[in-house]
């Protein structure tokens, strides 16, 4: 009898109730993250709803309120876009001083092809009143928050401009298959360029409003509080910061002398990645990494690599910094904030060559 054991990476468990598990970002193969290894981030237990007669009601500041059935949405013209979704708390574990909350390392990020209907085509059916300023998206997931005793659904809003952007879609497929239940089946909002709290799962209803939405997932959570105690200087979490992650080698890995392909990803919420630089000496000297940029894929990450020939034994601090087409570059130190959002300091690992 011969054994051919299968070796594969798994999600990294951060909590079970609600389920929070991160993508093993150093061990994923290829450009697309399979649904099995897509990170899972929940505020509550999974919702329990009947989807046979599923529909999405749109009400509020519209010309004609309307409920769209599943079948109606599936017959509207769709588009497929590669989008990276990154949890606003990705890399929270690296803040110094440390921040309370889920200790996400580098894997609260995934990407793949989302297929769906631009939200704007739904509004072509309902019309929009001139007074409309925001669209509120309610998910089926709900539960108790720590700061109140009442039950809240997960609800977020988008400014009307972002909601009407042709690439803001109501998605129903991921990588060519129906969206897995855990990732929002049957319909998930996909908001390219924004941190993923905006991409509401299990869409229950949409309400167009004339004022500013102030639900707790908008005005309490997902807000940058740069001060440890006070709320001074707070501002909302929206677009992703320019960022990068080294996938190979691993932090604290021991290597032989020889030739290596240093590999990683870089992404941004504004424009596209314009430059990725790497330093093998802790930031003194910088070299350019290779990657293929494709403007039609600007919502995805780029995979970069750098050929490293190393013959001198010793310890090396490898740093990577990405710059986007809006000229935003990763900072050396991140913006510390009390809830630990938007960490995007230059990525940094150490290796030892023996």
* Closest approach of a second copy to the CB of residue 315, in Å: 8
CB-wise, 151 or 254, nearer to a second copy?
A: 254
* Closest approach of a second copy to the CB of residue 324, in Å: 30
Closest CA to 73 of 206, 180, 198, 210: 206
* Closest approach of a second copy to the CB of residue 21, in Å: 7
CB-wise, 29 or 281, nearer to a second copy?
A: 29
**238 in Cβ contact with 176 (< 8 Å):** no
CB-wise, 17 or 151, nearer to a second copy?
A: 17
Phi, psi of 56 (to 5 degrees): -115, 105
* Closest approach of a second copy to the CB of residue 231, in Å: 15
Which residue carries 């989008």 as its tokens?
83
Task: Enumerate the β-bridge partners of residue 253.
Answer: 351
CB-wise, 173 or 251, nearer to a second copy?
A: 251
* Alpha carbon distances (Å) from 295 to 271, 302, 307: 9, 11, 25
* Closest approach of a second copy to the CB of residue 221, in Å: 11
Q: Tell me the pairing of strands 347-353 and 177-178.
A: unpaired
CB-wise, 53 or 292, nearer to a second copy?
A: 53
DSSP code for 340: -
Name the site residues for a second copy (rule: CB under 8 A): 1-5, 7-13, 15-17, 19, 21, 24, 26-27, 46, 48, 50-52, 98-101, 103, 146-147, 181-182, 185, 250-254, 256, 350-352, 354
**Helix%, strand%, coil% for the chain, nearest 5:** 10, 40, 50
Q: What is the distance, to the nearest Å, from the Cα of residue 184 to the centroid of all Cα atoms in its chain?
A: 14
CB-wise, 125 or 182, nearer to a second copy?
A: 182
Q: Which residues of 2-20 are buried (b: 16+ CB within 10 A; e: fewer)?
A: eeeeeeeeebbebeeebbb
* Closest approach of a second copy to the CB of residue 228, in Å: 11
Burial of 258 (0-12, 13-18, 19+ CB in 10 A): exposed
């Amino acid at each position: 009898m011969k054994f051919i054991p299968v070796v594969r990476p798994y999600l990294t468990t951060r909590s079970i109730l609600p389920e929070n598990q991160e993508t093993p970002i150093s061990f994923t193969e290829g450009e697309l993250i399979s649904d099995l290894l897509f990170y899972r981030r929940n505020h509550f237990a999974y919702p329990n709803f009947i989807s046979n007669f599923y529909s999405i009601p749109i009400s509020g500041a519209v010309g004609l309120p309307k409920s769209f059935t599943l079948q109606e949405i599936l017959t509207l013209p769709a588009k497929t876009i590669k989008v990276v979704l990154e949890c606003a708390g990705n890399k929270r574990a690296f803040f110094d001083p440390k921040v309370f909350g889920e200790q996400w390392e580098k894997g609260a990020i995934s990407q793949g092809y989302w297929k769906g209907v631009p939200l704007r085509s739904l509004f072509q059916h309902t019309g929009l009143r001139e007074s409309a300023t925001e669209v509120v998206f309610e998910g089926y997931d709900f539960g108790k928050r720590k700061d109140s005793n009442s039950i809240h659904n997960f609800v977020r809003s988008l400014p009307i401009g972002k909601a009407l952007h042709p690439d803001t879609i109501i998605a129903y497929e991921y990588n060519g298959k129906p969206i897995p239940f855990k990732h929002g089946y049957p319909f998930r909002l996909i908001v390219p360029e924004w941190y993923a709290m905006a991409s509401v799962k299990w869409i229950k209803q949409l309400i167009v409003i004339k004022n500013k939405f102030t639900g707790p997932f908008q005005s309490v959570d997902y807000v940058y509080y740069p001060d440890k105690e006070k709320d001074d200087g707070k501002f909302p979490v929206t677009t992703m910061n320019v960022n990068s992650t080294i996938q190979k080698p691993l932090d604290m890995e021991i290597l032989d002398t020889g030739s290596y392909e240093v590999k990683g990803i870089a992404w941004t919420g504004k424009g596209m990645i314009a430059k990725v630089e790497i330093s093998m000496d802790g930031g003194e000297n910088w070299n350019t990494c290779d990657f293929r940029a494709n403007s039609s894929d600007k919502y995805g990450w780029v995979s970069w690599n750098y050929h490293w020939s190393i013959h001198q034994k010793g310890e090396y601090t490898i740093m990577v910094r990405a710059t986007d087409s809006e000229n935003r570059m990763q900072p050396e130190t991140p913006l510390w904030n009390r809830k630990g959002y938007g960490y995007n300091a230059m990525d940094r690992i150490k290796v030892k060559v023996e």
